[in-house]
Chains A and B, each alone.
Chain A
Amino acid sequence: MSTRLSTGGKYLNRSDQRRFTFNGKQFTGYEGDTLASALLANDQMLMGRSFKYHRPRGVVASGAEEPNALVNLGTGGTFEPNQRATTTELFDGLTATSQNHWPSLEFDIGVANNAMARFFPAGFYYKTFMAPRAAWKHVFEPIVRQSAGLGQVPKDRDADTYEHFYAFYDVVIVGGGVAGLQAALAAGSAGAKVLLMEQTAHLGGRAVIDGGEVDGKPVDAWVADAGETLDAMPNVTVRLRMMGAGVYDHGYVLGYERVRDHDPMAEGPRHRLWRIRTQQIVTATGAIERPLSFAGNDIPGVMLASAVRDYVDGYGVSPGDRTVVVTNNDDAYRTAISLKKAGLEVPVILDARASGGGALADEAKGLGIRVETGKGIAKVKGGKRVTGVAVCAQAGEGAVLEEIACDAVAMSGGWSPVVHLWSHCGGKLFWDEDQAHFRPDPNRPPTSHDGKGFVIPAGSANGPMDLAEVMGDAHAAGLAAAKALGLKSGKAAAPKVAPQPEAAMEPVWLMPQGAGPKLRMKAWLDYQNDVKVSDVRLAAQEGYESVEHTKRYTTLGMATDQGKLSNINGLAVLSDALNQPIPATGTTTFRPPYTPISFGAIAGEARADTFQPLRKTPIHDWHEAQGAFFEPVGHWRRPYCFPRQGETHSDAVNREINQTRKSVGLLDASTLGKIIVKGPDAGRFLDMLYTNMMSTLKPGKCRYGLMCNENGFLIDDGVVARIDEDTFLCHTTTGGAERIHGWMEDWLQCEWWDWKVFTANVTEQFAQIAVVGPNARKVLEKLGGMDVSKDALAFMEWKDGQLGGFDCRAYRISFSGELSYEIAVPASQGRAFWDALLVAGEEFGMMPYGTEALHVMRAEKGFIMIGDETDGTVIPQDLGLNWAISKKKEDFLGKRAQERPHMTDPSRWKLVGLETLDGSVIPDGSYAIAEGTNANGQRNTQGRVTSTYYSPTLEKGIAMGLVLYGPDRMGEVIEFNKVDGSTVAARIVDPVFYDKDGEKQNV
């Protein structure tokens, strides 16, 4: 059984006990525990089930590389699935549940998959769910969906907050082990502004557990001193619980800080995503131990040797009473020694190397531990827990020499540098034959904007595993980072460490070397996704020779741990099957993040009420208070209509239109874009921008204009007012202000930079209110001030003055066909002016109308709307707007394109009005159908609807649409399709339905 030892545990504070639950059971642990160590201390070795076969899974590792111990954490608004127990710090009140099993962790029905494992080989899904096609939807997909996935999706809204932080450093060091600390000392003392981040809660990394002497001090004392030295340096920042998630172009680094996962009741954000720009990055990310591939290596109780050591020395936990150690290198002997010193039994060390180990092996033997060289594990015995191992010769095929009872196995297949961050942005690797691992190729680093390398690996992330070499390498890395910044090295000296020579490791990719199919089928590579040695060999056999293909075919390394334990072993097996050296196989691509990060951290502040900016006019509060129904227009929120008690939205729209046409209505038009264009060349410039002539406009007058892009297509429209000889004010659509302003600047800056024109976007300086209807003038006259009579302010004129004491500019323009004024006042007075208008309009029954009434009224008048009648492929000629295209001008944007044959083709669909015969409203998006079918068997079409509404003025459905030869077919009846498959007949008519001669607006 696994249990808490009575003494020991460098990370523990035994005076601070913490209570937690796992699957509803009460447990206790200590401050400093991880959830994994606390579970082990309570003899809970079984922590989860695997993805495919639902095999029982215990913890394998002690850190970020853990593939098995994934749990659901928290409840309700703090629930989160797939959390690694090994990186979850224990806090009081933690609740965790295991996942991927039903009905319980101990008894799981899905384990039937395991019994059937022989029939679920690699590629099973691809091979099985091929045919018949129809079965996908009704049979395969529901089954796959039912059984796929690991944890559950949270049901409640995340109750926590998250944030980003933009930070700027000279040097970012990822990893707070001894290498990171030494690199920080070197770079920091040279004067660089340094950020050091460590993903766990403590500095020192493995060295604190593995021991050794640096500068004549025990290594943990050196770590404490180094931490203090760095803290005292004003140019160095050290952050714990912060992971280097990814390295990107031009020195961009993401740091994922888990601010209070260990203390959930604290104030503040749960996670903080640091978005860092740096000149140099030092990756002191250490190394990860590899498992060995032997039959039964996934049975709970089989763990990495280094993890066993961590649990014993770091957390005061015994993973088992009797632990067999199996290795191909000297380092695992440290585990045996630790266990023995903690008073636990080590029945045997199985060293796959025929020649055995070096000094550490001698020390182990000196403690009385039995060491067998040239031996390995044929098979681990046990189900939910290891009960023993069968010993065999590594060189053989697995003939059992001896069975040894044990309840834990500590394995070591050698160490792989963590090269992820080096590789994220293109750093290349090479294969180190001696240590049998990939490590960074110093000649091919990722390069930055200046073409120079910006990532420097340090310590065991760079290959060296011996403490003396690690420290020397890290010191050099810190100095190299400083040098790249042009700094001279400071006072920090390379630490002195006595070398501890070890015997060479020997690669072991399969144990025993000659293991047959039966053993290979039980030798796991990827624990989480259930990929075995036999699966990778099958992939190779079936022709998946590229490592990227094998990965996807078998799902090797595709689980949430991204193959931190399995990749090297997997590609070694693939290389062996393909009979090629490992470097020829290569690695899969390392992609960020290093371990999964929370969606909350990625979203940062962009959640809930600040998910995206909503733009509000100065009158927005009034609309809201009146219960307006809003619609989004770009980022603006505009009232769609103002429903009254008991009214539907369409009731409200009809009422608003009727009242406006009958008496007077008012519209908050503040969102319309307003751009000032000024300069001696302003007229010439607007002549290029608009299809019609603007330079001839007289001051005091307004003119409607169209803008096209160089493809000839309509991009915006609006009324231009000439303010004075040099100055124009251009109105744009609500969504177009920023875009059109940018468009103007583009041409002024990049094409006609010698023209004297300045622009300014003054959209939000003004609240603009349209007062619309036959009584509009009376309302303004009641306010008093400027003369708004027809003679003083005629249609398509503007004037500055005062109304009701407000400084304003009044435009006589109309988008409804009624007598209409648009009045602009400074935004700070917008609400007050609106209120004053409401009072003045009361006796006329004036009421506000929304965007839908606006749309219907303009459609009744046959006015086009950018985005309804246009879709990026429509030219003004399609809309019968030839009157707004100057024939005199030699050039304007879009003119050349409108001369292309396709644009002058008479068969382009053209704008017409449409009236249904039965008075109904044609559905939005309907097509006019034509005789016959196309090559795909679909009905031919001869047009489409662009705007369609119920007109309360005409009391029937009206529409505008683009129809083949439309203007030549007045009076003809054509059919439009409906959603239910039937059609509706509509007559082609003039698009101006209301007041064709414009008598109402020009009074």
Chain B
Amino acid sequence: MLTLQCPYCGVWAEETELHAEGEAHLKRFGPGSDDADFESYLFMRENPKGVHFERWRHSHGCGKFFHAARCTMTLKVFGTYPAQTLEPPQDIKDRISETYPGWTWRNFK
């Protein structure tokens, strides 16, 4: 049962205080988008063995949604960061590179 630090209130919350909210950094496609983009937005998800970017909500706490970068295999957590961003902060990307040089995830490297 994992623990993540909420980047908003600083609490090290255990999984029972959190709610998993699926993949992070999805780009919304609305009316006017083509079928392929819309399909990818609605249905296509990463399922990596290794580094992954997820949304979590500190639901039994401050109620904020945040992002977490972690390894799905070892549960190593590279960092958590606020949801108001379009890509992971550089220091987290650097930390991932230390473990997985040359990693990629969608269009992040």
B-binding residues in A (CB < 8 A)? 248-252, 277, 447-451, 710-711, 742, 745-746, 749-751, 753, 890-891, 895-897, 899-900
Contact = CB atoms under 8 A, between A and B. Distances in A.
Contact of A753 (B31, B76, B83, B99): B83
Contact of B55 (A250, A449, A750, A753): A750
Contacts of B77: 449-450
A450 B31 contact: no
Contacts of B99: 451
Interface in B38-65: 38, 41-42, 55, 57, 59, 63-65
Given A277-B14, A451-B99, A749-B83, 9 more contacts: A250-B3, A250-B75, A449-B77, A710-B28, A749-B84, A751-B28, A896-B30, A896-B31, A900-B35
B46 to A, nearest CB: 17
Contact of A891 (B30, B35, B74): B30
Contact of A750 (B33, B41, B83): B83
Nearest to A449: B77
Contacts of B59: 742
Nearest to B43: A711
Interface string B63-105: 1110000000011110000011000000000000001000000
A451 B57 contact: no
A250 B5 CA distance: 12
A750 B2 CA distance: 23
Contacts of A449: 2-3, 75-77
A248 B21 CA distance: 22
B98 to A, nearest CB: 9
A753 B74 CA distance: 32
Contact of B42 (A448, A710, A891): A710
A753 B84 CA distance: 7
Contact of A250 (B1, B29, B57, B64): B1
B74 to A, nearest CB: 6
Contacts of A277: 3, 14
A250 B74 contact: no
Given A890-B31, A891-B31, A895-B31, A248 B1 contact: yes
Contacts, number: 66
Contacts of B63: 745
A745 B65 contact: yes
A447 B74 contact: yes
Nearest to B24: A750
A451 B31 CA distance: 43
A896 B31 CA distance: 4
B31 to A, nearest CB: 5
Contact of B29 (A251, A447, A896): A896
Nearest to A251: B3
A900 B41 CA distance: 14
A300 B57 CA distance: 58
A896 B55 contact: no
11 contacts: A250-B1, A250-B75, A252-B1, A277-B3, A449-B75, A450-B77, A749-B65, A751-B28, A896-B38, A897-B42, A899-B31
A746 B29 contact: no
Contacts of B31: 890-891, 895-896, 899
B64 A749 contact: yes
A451 B74 contact: yes
Contacts of A450: 76-77
Select the residue from B31, B63, B83 with max chain A CB neighbours within 10 A.
B31
Nearest to B65: A749
Nearest to B41: A710
Interface in B1-41: 1-3, 14, 21, 28-33, 35, 38, 41
Contacts of A248: 1
B84 A896 contact: no
Given A248-B1, A447-B74, A710-B42, A895 B28 contact: no
B2 A896 contact: no
A899 B99 CA distance: 44
Nearest to A893: B30
Contacts of A252: 1, 3, 14
Contacts of B29: 896
Contacts of B84: 749-750, 753
Nearest to B95: A451
Contacts of B41: 710
A890 B32 CA distance: 9
A746 B1 contact: no
A742 B3 contact: no
Contacts of A899: 31
B84 to A, nearest CB: 4
Given A745-B65, A749-B65, A749-B84, A895 B3 contact: no
A250 B2 contact: yes
Given A250-B75, A447-B76, A450-B76, A746 B38 contact: no
A498 to B, nearest CB: 43
Given A250-B3, A896-B30, A746 B65 contact: yes
A449 B79 CA distance: 10
Nearest to A254: B1
A451 B71 CA distance: 10
Given A710-B42, A896-B33, A750 B76 contact: no
A746 B21 contact: yes
Contacts of B1: 248-250, 252
A913 B21 CA distance: 38
Residue among A710, A896, A897 with the highest chain B CB neighbour number at 10 A: A896
Those 7 A-B pairs whose CB atoms lie nearest each other, nearest first: A451-B76, A449-B77, A753-B84, A750-B83, A749-B65, A250-B3, A891-B30
